[in-house]
A and B are shown apart, each in its own frame.
Chain A
Amino acid sequence: MDYALHLLVVIGIYTILVVSLNLAWGYTGLLSFTHAAFAGVGAYGTALLLMRLRLGFVPALLLACLLAAGLGALLCAVTARLGGDYFILAVLGFQIVATAVFLNWVSLTRGPFGLLGIPKPTVFGHAITTTGEYLALVAVCAGLVVALVHRTVTLPFGRMLRAIHEDEVAVLVLGKDVARAKVAVFALSAGCAAVAGGLYAHYYSYVDPFIFDIHESILLATMVVVGGRPLRGSIVGVVVLLLFPEALRALNVPGEITAYLKQLLYGSLLFAFVLLRPEGLVREGSA
């Protein structure tokens, strides 16, 4: 039972991440292989603010989200005028820099040893200790993020994002501020990804730089591809990719092989979906 709750917590955290990435990529066309880095900013930020500055969990999480959103806005403001391929590469650079900072700013992050003993969160005076309580916290946060993203994409702003994804120049000559819209959506997306990072750090009581590296960003992108653009698709993508290793476990595949099979499957799924079903498992039809 506890393991099932744990799986649901992980699904909740990944749902936040993938919905965030979907907002930037699926809706706006800002393909980012750096969202794990924003989650890392959320994770390290929340943990350090709580451990070093003794802030409460909620203000620490909010501040870390603001930091990630600010970094996302800055990154997008500098890179958004670049064409598609160059934008992807420039943003990828941020992932590499972030991992290097997590790894080498030892006095702050403890480098490769990671941060240990991150305390369990206390929310409005209530200590979150059991997996069930943590699931409730993650469910509330995931619900808030999904609701925020859903509202964003159903606003006229969201309509503009979809148009930008299709034909940026046609949007520009309608008098819309494409650059400002991109910066706003990327900041929101980065801030939401940081929520997932903050939850992750306090759930596992531990973070290290390798959790938020490029492989994780590629996994998130694979989840978006597999699930499809509608927000429901993001959840489907998360569930399919996270439950696969569990299926291997049920089949008694040895753990050391599972890790390789996992990578093989993720890569194959990405390849297969891009080639055969680029719209993902859940087709467009609703937000």
Chain B
Amino acid sequence: MPAPLLELIDVSRHFGGVRAVSGVSFGVEPRQITSLIGPNGAGKTTIFNLISGLLPPTGGTIRYQGASLDALPPQARARAGIGRAFQDPRVFQHLSALDNARLGFPGQSGERLAYGLLRWKRVQTEDRLLGEAAEAMLARVGLAECARLRAGDLSFGQQRFLSLVRTLAMRPRLLLLDEPTVGLTLEEVGALARLLRELAAGSQTVLLIEHNMDLVMEVSDSVILLVEGQIVAAGAPAAVKRHPKLMEAYFGAGHGP
């Protein structure tokens, strides 16, 4: 069995007296889709904030590629290959869709002011090439026609796909997707499922937060059920689907089998 790409070891995050995440331990295997499910308030997004470095843990440690992430700020974690798409698409509304996508590419020399000013021509060439790559990625999710439009003028679903493109442009080793189907039409959910399947076939490691159980059960290699900040079930999708805690977690006590 390969070593996990990401490993949470006894991780907790408390907000005053509220235990948003409490003693959570799990691993994300490389080239697999791992899903975090659970009712609202279970601590799923808090776990994403802990992994991406936007929140420090109250206790425990998070390891990525065998090394602790604890001392790394968010931008260093992103550069190490942890890409995150938020629940709200958070695209840059005043920039074009193309510029949003271009921003995802790592290591752009034109993002260093002095270099950009001194090597203007070289930076222009590099940026043109990135633009072509970004356009190809936008075309892949059906946004080719929207490349020059302001991101704020796109529909919610288009913004969602744009945010995914921006994150994928980082070429992340680990992709964190936070409820990517929220607000999407049925057709868009289908397109997203296709994209997830393509990513899985391409050996992309994904940690997915999702409420759409059909999608979760279809694409996931393993599923973790989180309730009130604690893991109550984990394993293969079929096993977690049958777990009595699942119905109870979503519909309350008495709804279990």
> For this complex, into which size category does the number of interface residues on chain A fall?
20 to 34
Give B68 Cβ to nearest chain A Cβ, in Å.
19
CB-based contact A156/B110 at 8 Å: yes
Chain A residues, Cβ within 8 Å of B167: 174
Per-position 1/0 for B67-108, Cβ under 8 A of A:
000000011101100011010001011110001001110101
CB-based contact B95/A163 at 8 Å: yes
Chain B residues, Cβ within 8 Å of A173: 52, 54, 74-75, 78, 83-84
CB-based contact B75/A188 at 8 Å: no
- Is A181 an interface residue, CB under 8 A from the partner? yes
State which of A151, A160, A167, A175 has its C-beta within 8 Å of the C-beta of B117: A151
CB-based contact B93/A171 at 8 Å: no
Given A162-B95, A166-B92, A167-B90: A175 and B170 within 8 A (CB)? yes
Per-position 1/0 for A247-287, Cβ under 8 A of B:
00000000000000000000000000000000000001000
Give A236 Cβ to nearest chain B Cβ, in Å.
20
Give A71 Cβ to nearest chain B Cβ, in Å.
18
Which label, helix, strand, loop or mixed, suits the secondary structure of the B interface? Answer: helix
- Is A238 an interface residue, CB under 8 A from the partner? no
State which of A159, A166, A175, A284 has its C-beta within 8 Å of the C-beta of B106: A175
B117 and chain A: residue at smallest CB distance: A151
What is the count of residue pairs linking A and B with beta-carbon distances less than 8 angstroms? 86
- Is A148 an interface residue, CB under 8 A from the partner? yes
A63 to B190, CA, bound (A): 61
CB-based contact A160/B103 at 8 Å: yes
A97 to B236, CA, bound (A): 63
Chain B positions 50-64 with a Cβ under 8 Å from a chain A Cβ: 52, 54
- Is B120 an interface residue, CB under 8 A from the partner? yes
Give B149 Cβ to nearest chain A Cβ, in Å.
13
A160 to B110, CA, bound (A): 10
- Is B228 an interface residue, CB under 8 A from the partner? no
CB-based contact B86/A175 at 8 Å: no
Given A163-B95, A184-B113, A185-B113: A169 and B54 within 8 A (CB)? yes
- Is B116 an interface residue, CB under 8 A from the partner? yes
Chain A positions 159-187 with a Cβ under 8 Å from a chain B Cβ: 159-160, 162-163, 166-167, 169-178, 181, 184-185
Give B175 Cβ to nearest chain A Cβ, in Å.
12
Interface size on B, residues (CB 8 A): 34
CB-based contact B75/A178 at 8 Å: yes
A160 and chain B: residue at smallest CB distance: B111
CB-based contact A175/B75 at 8 Å: yes
A284 and chain B: residue at smallest CB distance: B94
Give A143 Cβ to nearest chain B Cβ, in Å.
16
A156 and chain B: residue at smallest CB distance: B110
CB-based contact A155/B117 at 8 Å: yes
CB-based contact A174/B94 at 8 Å: no
CB-based contact B166/A174 at 8 Å: yes
CB-based contact B103/A175 at 8 Å: no
A177 to B113, CA, bound (A): 12
- Is B127 an interface residue, CB under 8 A from the partner? yes
CB-based contact B111/A176 at 8 Å: yes
State which of B90, B120, B127 has its C-beta within 8 Å of the C-beta of A151: B120
A276 to B166, CA, bound (A): 34
Give B60 Cβ to nearest chain A Cβ, in Å.
21
A284 to B79, CA, bound (A): 32
A96 to B112, CA, bound (A): 32
Give B90 Cβ to nearest chain A Cβ, in Å.
4
Per-position 1/0 for A208-220, Cβ under 8 A of B:
0000000000000
Chain B residues, Cβ within 8 Å of A151: 116-117, 120
A69 to B103, CA, bound (A): 27
Given A152-B117, A156-B127, A188-B113: A174 and B104 within 8 A (CB)? yes
Closest 9 CB pairs of A and B: A175-B78, A156-B110, A155-B116, A175-B79, A184-B113, A170-B90, A163-B92, A172-B74, A166-B92
Residues of B bordering A, CB below 8 Å: 52, 54, 74-76, 78-79, 83-84, 86, 90, 92-95, 99, 102-104, 106, 108, 110-114, 116-117, 120, 123, 127, 166-167, 170
